[in-house]
Amino acid sequence: MGKRRILVLLAILMAMPLPAIAGEVTWQDCVKEALAGNNSLISAREKLNQARAQSWTAAAAALPQISASASGSKNGNEAGLSDVPYTGNVQTQNYSYGLSVRQLVFDGFQNTQDIMKASEDVKSAEFNYKIASSQTRYSLKLDYAGLMKAQRFSIITAQIMNLRKKQFGDVTLRYNAGREDKGAMDNSNADYKESVFEVDQSVRQIELAKQTLCIALGREIHSDISVREDFSITEDLSKEPDFDDLLKNNLNYLLAISQRKSAEFSFGASVSSFLPQVFFSGSVGRGAVALWPRDTSWSLGLNISFSIFDGGKSEAQCSAALAALNQAKADEKAGADNTLTSLKTVWYALKDSYTSMGVQQSYLDASVERAKIADAQYATGLIDFNNWTIIQNSLVSSQKAIVSAQAGLLTSEAAWIQAKGGTLEDETK
Give the tens place of pLDDT for each residue, 92-118. 788 888 889 988 887 878 888 888 999
Sign, CA torsion 407/411/414/416? negative
Is residue 405 within 8 A of residue 360, CB to CB? The reply is yes
Q: How confident is the model at residue 18 (pLDDT cuts 50, 70, 90)?
A: very low
Instruction: Provide Rg for the chain, Cα atoms.
Output: 38
User: Chain-wide mean pLDDT for the chain?
Assistant: 87
Q: How confident is the model at residue 58 (pLDDT cuts 50, 70, 90)?
A: confident
Mean pLDDT of the region 215-228: 92
Per the confidence metrics, is the pTM higher than 0.85? no
Question: What is the pLDDT at residue 79?
Answer: 59
Question: What is the pLDDT at residue 1?
Answer: 39
The three-class DSSP label of residue 281 is strand
pLDDT at 8 over 80: no
C-alpha span between 420 and 246 (Å, rounded):
6
Fold of 2-67+106-280+311-427: Outer membrane efflux proteins (OEP) (1.20.1600)
Residue 21: CA count within 13 A, CB half-sphere = 13
C-alpha span between 63 and 200 (Å, rounded):
69
Give the tens place of pLDDT for each residue, 188-208. 999 999 999 999 999 999 999
pLDDT at 21 over 70: no
Mean pLDDT of the region 289-318: 81
- The highest-confidence range among 79-88, 171-180, 349-358, by mean pLDDT, is 349-358
Q: Which of the two residues, 315 and 291, has the higher pLDDT score?
A: 315
The three-class DSSP label of residue 70 is strand
Lowest-confidence range among 52-61, 128-137, 143-152, 187-196? 52-61
Q: Which of the two residues, 308 and 191, has the higher pLDDT score?
A: 191
The three-class DSSP label of residue 185 is helix
Compute the residue count for the chain. Answer: 429
The three-class DSSP label of residue 198 is helix
The three-class DSSP label of residue 25 is strand
pLDDT at 2 over 50: no
Q: Which of the two residues, 158 and 96, has the higher pLDDT score?
A: 158
Is residue 375 within 8 A of residue 4, CB to CB? The reply is yes
Return the C-alpha torsion angle 163, 169, 170, 174, nearest 10: 160
C-alpha span between 46 and 52 (Å, rounded):
10
C-alpha span between 110 and 270 (Å, rounded):
7
Q: Which amino acid, 246?
A: L
Is residue 133 within 8 A of residue 44, CB to CB? The reply is yes
315: Cα separation from own chain's centroid: 40
- The proportion of the chain whose per-residue pLDDT surpasses 70, expressed as a percent, equals 90
Lowest-confidence range among 21-30, 49-58, 159-168, 264-273? 21-30
Question: What is the pLDDT at residue 257?
Answer: 94
* Percent helix, percent strand, percent coil in the chain, to nearest 5: 65, 15, 20
C-alpha span between 423 and 429 (Å, rounded):
11
Q: What is the DSSP string of 294-345?
A: --EEEEEEEEEE--S--TTHHHHHHHHHHHHHHHHHHHHHHHHHHHHHHHHH
Sorted by sequence, the CB contacts under 8 Å of residue 350 that are 6+ apart come out as 235, 237, 409, 412, 413, 415, 416
Cis peptide before 85 (omega within 30 of 0): yes
Question: What is the pLDDT at residue 202?
Answer: 95
Is residue 14 within 8 A of residue 364, CB to CB? The reply is yes
C-alpha span between 176 and 12 (Å, rounded):
33
Mean pLDDT of the region 260-282: 88
Q: How confident is the model at residue 14 (pLDDT cuts 50, 70, 90)?
A: very low
pLDDT at 16 over 90: no
